[in-house]
Amino acid sequence: MPSAVDFRQTLRRQLRQARRHLSATDQSLAAEALVDAYQALSSVLNISGDKRIALYLTNDGEISPHLLCEHLWSLGHNIYLPVVKEQSLDFAHYTQQHIDDDTLWRENRFGIKEPVDVSPKSGFEMDLVFLPLVGFDDQGGRLGMGGGFYDRTFANKSKQAKPVLIGLAHDCQQVASLPMESWDIPLDAIMTPTQLISITNQTQTD
């Protein structure tokens, strides 16, 4: 009988393959749908005012938040991207001028671009964190890439504390149930192109 670790590794491979096989059109439509999903999320969670919101740069077939980012900028929010710090994450301010100015970027040890920020914020200084995932279930379980960076960053987070943690995913990444470990951080909500699953309020909308 396979161990929980073996099962998670097998599931991770299958779900990563599923999202990488999505067409460019599917990816584009999914990115557009996230903007509409955010409208439902902001209503459920009563998001208002100027917030510090963390997103991510897309990699390995992940659903892209680039259109959501532009929408959040238009609403006056401050956007941040994760930067690797030893075994956890800080968050660097991401402004619109970063898009066309390569001098404001650097690559981390995984070859992923990060904005240069001399005073990055901690995870607990964010109001909302939209984070990528490999797999999810409707109870807020999240299967990540296996590095544990988000888990370590928010290891001491209580359910009611900032930030609100929102997983972003394609619908093909949903599974019936994920085996959870003690170090896995539960999500407050999950957004897909067709669903908003609010774990905090135990509601689900299509």
**DSSP letter string, 16-74:** HHHHHTS-HHHHHHHHHHHHHHHHHHHHHTT--SS-EEE-----TTPPP-HHHHHHHHH
- Reported residue count of the chain is 206
**pLDDT surpasses 50 at 204:** no
Residue 119: DSSP 8-state: S
Q: What is the pLDDT of residue 157?
A: 83
Q: What DSSP element (H or E) covers 105?
A: strand 105-107
Write down the pLDDT at residue 2: 55
State yes or no: pLDDT of 6 exceeds 80.
Answer: no
Q: Answer yes or no: is pLDDT of 82 > 60.
A: yes
Cα radius of gyration rounded to whole Å, the chain:
16
- % of the chain residues with pLDDT over 90: 53
User: In this predicted structure, what is the pLDDT of residue 161?
Assistant: 78
Mean pLDDT throughout 104-129?
A: 91
* pLDDT at residue 57, as a whole number: 93
- Nearest to residue 79, comparing CAs of 57, 101, 59, 62? 57
Most confident listed range (73-82, 90-99, 132-141): 73-82
pTM reported for the whole predicted model: 0.88
User: By percentage, how much of the chain surpasses pLDDT 70?
Assistant: 89
Mean pLDDT estimate for the chain? 87
pLDDT at 199 > cutoff 90: no
Q: What is the pLDDT of residue 7?
A: 77
